[in-house]
Structure 1
Amino acid sequence: MTKMIEHFFSITSPWTFLGFQRLSEIAARNGATVVHKPVDLGKVFSVSGGLPLPKRSPQRQAYRLVELARWRTYLGIPINVQPKFFPVKGWPAAGMVIAARERNQDYGTLAHAILRAVWVEERNIDDAATLEAIAAAQGFDGRALIAAAEGEAVKKTFEADTQEAMDRGVFGAPTYIYKGEMFWGQDRLDFLERAVKQG
């Protein structure tokens, strides 16, 4: 039976970006598959006590930048801690990932490319033409995915995945769930891999 890691994330989260490729590598090393589920983090915060970044205290906002810079150095992953196009709505970007997932396409690659566009490439993922170009560079029909993202079926899946996240106790992004055990944050990937290795 295939090992499965569920990945609940925000398509605009820097922490999701820092963990994304490492998650893929963990899965590959251990014969696991990853199910990526973009969610509405605002709704998750509304039931879990979290605050969107602009509403956090100045101290917390400042320390977040320090931590991002520390992790950038430690991991050797390029990331602009204050990108030009952030915060962004992230829709239809998240919907494109869902649409690609439902078409059995390599949606993990698309999600990672979108995250990289925000945090490394200074691109505006709220712009449709930019999203089409990002998707095309990864071999996807961006226009078709955007059209699907604007459809009711994909929006309902997004809502359902968000509700599932809340029902299962998710309170931030990224969150990884393996065999019912939750691991919150890219800094818990070592613990996740230990669990996956155990079977």
Structure 2
Amino acid sequence: MKTVDVFWSFRSPYSYLATKRLRSMSNVWDVRVGPRPVYPIAIRTPEFFSEIRPQWVPYLMRDIVRLSQYLGLPLGALNPDPVVMNMMTREISPDQPHIGRLTRMGILACEVGDAEGWAFMDEVSSLIWSGGAWTEGTALAEAAARAGFDLADLDSRQEAEKDRLEALIAENQAAQDPHHWGVPLMVLEGEAFFGQDRLDVLEWRLEQSGVQRL
């Protein structure tokens, strides 16, 4: 069976907008769709946002709003942003209480299995990107439970196994780097497809490469 590696981030709106389709792809095609969580570009390349053209952020915001409407998916203001960042100066804070925790828990979920990993990533990213106050009350615990996980268990494990999990995140990032810096990034037999807007082309390539529909 062929494999599509998917490099994916909890902070990426485009990752969120692609998740449900990626999650269901292995039910449509005889292919493994393997989730590989990575850190967002704000963490991997902190200077990125201070160097981009001024049109970039306004276009991004308009694009993700219309895409969410087109796909029929909820989209709300981040509450809070998984990456602590000064949006006026575009400076990335050295104190990041959220993104490491989320990404390490994502790795743990993916280690259970692809389906379980996608379920966790889907539920948590949907909570975050729909504008839910995801750090308050039981919101995150309920999202984890919908995916079949106990948040307290994942949390204690991500802390206890931090070094091992960080090494796995670094491995994912090293595997992504030769292809593209952005997410979601899908790689099939060394061919990369960047962005949720390339899923149709990816599925065309699956058919071209002999992968059967189920």
Alignment TM-score > 0.5, same fold? yes
Q: CA deviation at 1:57?
A: 3.8
1:51 to 48, 60, 66: 48
Q: Summarize deviations over 1:6-33 as a string: whole Å, max 9, x none.
A: 1001111110011111122333211222
Q: Which residue number corresponds to residue 182 of structure 2?
A: 172
Distance 1:137 1:23, change over 3 A: closer
Letter in 2 for 1:169: H
CA distance in 2, matches of 1:193, 1:147: 38
What corresponds to 1:159 in structure 2? 170
Could you tell me how far apart the structure 2 residues matched to 1:138 and 1:9 are? Answer: 17
Q: For 1:136 and 1:55, locate their aligned partners in 2 and report how far apart those are by CA, in whole Å.
A: 40
Please point out which of 64, 70, 80 is paired with 1:68. Answer: 64
Is the 8 Å Cα contact of residues 10 and 39 (structure 1) preserved in structure 2?
A: yes
Cα displacement (A) at 1:117: 0.9
Give the distance between the partners of 2:173 and 2:121, measured in 1 at CA: 17
The normalised TM-score by structure 2 is 0.79
- 3-state secondary structure, aligned to 1:35: strand
Q: Is 1:84 aligned to 2:83, yes or no?
A: no
Q: What runs of 5+ residues in structure 1 fail to find an aligned partner?
A: none
Residues 1:118 and 1:55: Cα distance change in structure 2 (over 3 Å): farther
TM superposition shift of 1:79 = 1.6
* Structure 2 letter corresponding to 1:86: D
The secondary structure found in structure 2 opposite 1:92 is helix
Q: Do the aligned residues in 2 keep the contact of 1:9 with 1:37 (CA within 8 Å)?
A: yes
CA RMSD of aligned residues (A): 2.5
Q: Assess if the C-alpha contact under 8 Å between 1:43 and 1:162 holds in 2.
A: no
Gaps of 5+ in 2: 84-97
**Aligned-pair CA distance for 1:87:** 4.7
Alignment deviations for residues 116-148 of structure 1 (CA, whole Å, 9 cap, x no partner): 0111142335x7964333212322121121122
Distance 2:99 2:193 in 1: 24
User: For 1:143, which of 137, 148, 152 is the aligned residue?
Assistant: 152
Q: d(CA) in 2 for partners of 1:51 and 1:141?
A: 35
What are the residue-to-residue correspondences of 1:77-156 with 2, within 5 Å? Answer: 77-80=73-76, 82-88=77-83, 89-104=98-113, 106-124=116-134, 130-150=139-159, 151=161, 152-156=163-167
**Letter paired with 2:28:** R
Taking structure 1 as the reference length, the TM-score comes to: 0.85
One-letter amino acid of the counterpart of residue 119, structure 1: W
Identity %: 26
Distance across 2 between alignment mates of 1:57 and 1:118 = 26
